[in-house]
Amino acid sequence: MKSAYLESIALIERLHRRFLDVMRAELDRLGVQDINNIQALILFNVGSDEYTVGELTQRGYYLGTNVTYNLKKLVECGYVTQARSAHDRRSVRIRLTDKGMELRKAIDGAYDRHVSAFAGTEIGAERIREINDTLRALERFWSEFLTAGNPIAGARGERAA
């Protein structure tokens, strides 16, 4: 079981890096050279909504990189606009510009192509749902582990270290 668990962790890391490679290839295909793959994912996740930096961080839309730097770059390149919140002057709200919305639409089209390419492969809708269910369960497990101490030791009546 331990080797399977460690393999899962390694696969999650490798899949994330591989997906970033795919995103870079999609940006290259679109001729987008002014932002990187992480910034494109932030842009996609913002969508038509408006967020603060804290909200982006809390929702995990930045994938572990410096969100402030990446937003600054997106603003400089004209994909995102930012404005002080009317309710809290310390807070800055960000949203996509028309240029940002156009790139988001192109990225969404790339995702549609990816899903279409699944046809005829071992990756189908049901398999993706199963993977997602498993990943959500693992996320819940890790979250509970962090918030409630070691749930495994507790389930066996042992003291958490």
Residue 129 has a pLDDT of: 92
**Sequence spans of domains, the chain:** 2-117
Mean pLDDT, rounded, for 101-116 = 96
H helical segments located in 2-157: 2-30, 37-46, 53-59, 67-76, 98-117, 125-148, 151-155
pLDDT tens per residue across span 16-72: 999 999 999 999 999 999 999 999 999 999 988 888 888 887 776 665 558 888 989
DSSP string for 43-82 = HHHHTT--EEHHHHHHHTTTTTS-HHHHHHHHHHTTSEEE
Return the CATH number of the domain spanning residue range 2-117.
1.10.10.10
The rounded distance, in Å, linking the Cα atoms of 145 and 142 is 5
Residue 153 has a pLDDT of: 55
